[in-house]
Amino acid sequence: MKKIYLAGPDVFLPEANEHFSRIKKKAASLGFQAFSPFDSEKKPENVTGIDLARHIFEENLKLIHDCDLVLANCNAFRGALVDDGTSFELGYAAALGKRIYGYIQRRCPLPDIVAGRIPLKDHPSGYPMDEDGFLVNEDFGNSINLMLEYSIEKSGGALIEGDESLALQEMARLEITGNPGKSGDT
């Protein structure tokens, strides 16, 4: 049974444990064993602050290392783009040679996603500019940052349009057929 690490900002949901429980049940029904960032084997006692943050970091790295696949929630989080921690986890998984699957509610060009989530203003270049003075010019057709989207593709996985349930179904189909990365959604 292949092991899946569940990456994403889902840990910040008010009902995160219930959310992960549903995903794990769905994964098990498809022949996978899923692990959330909460599934660390070492539960620290009396550890707080920066020491707890360091512990979480180390334990999540171990979980990613021990899993065969990564399923990442690539929806925008606290802004217009993929969660920072999820982005790191994707890069780490790619460096380890793990196959990565991501999911996003709606696939459309990244500038459209950004325009729908943060204030932009016109710029003489023809590209919109954000409030911090950066152009929104990553206009290549990708739905998430190109380094993330093509890390997923290069890993042999796929970026899937839909929620985690649909992503798990598509991951199972691709893994069973032996055609990872051949999703019609990539």
Confidence (pLDDT) at 146: 95
Give residues with Cβ within 8 angstroms of 139, minimum separation 6.
109, 110, 111, 127
- Local structure of residue 46 (DSSP, 8 states): S
pLDDT digits (tens, 9 = 90+) for 79-116: 999 999 999 999 999 999 999 999 999 999 999 999 99
pLDDT value of residue 181:
57
CATH number of 2-107+143-177: 3.40.50.450
CA 87 to chain centre: 7
Q: For residues 36 and 40, what is the distance between their CA atoms, to the nearest angstrom?
A: 8
Taking 90 as the threshold, does the pLDDT of residue 170 lie above it? yes
Burial label for 26, CB within 10 Å (0-12, 13-18, 19+), is middle
Query: pLDDT tens for residues 2-53?
Result: 999 999 999 999 999 999 999 999 999 999 999 999 998 777 889 999 999 9
Residue 141 has a pLDDT of: 92
Global pTM value: 0.91
pLDDT tens for 61-79 read 999 999 999 999 999 999 9
Location of structure tokens 């990365």:
181
pLDDT of residue 32: 98
Among residues of the chain, what percentage have pLDDT more than 70?
96
User: What are the domain boundaries of the chain?
Assistant: 2-107+143-177
pLDDT at 184: 46
Q: Please state, in angstroms and rounded to a whole number, the distance separating the CA atoms of residues 39 and 33.
A: 12
pLDDT at 179 (0 to 100):
66
The alpha carbons of the chain give a radius of gyration, in whole angstroms, of 17
Q: Can you give the pLDDT at residue 180?
A: 60
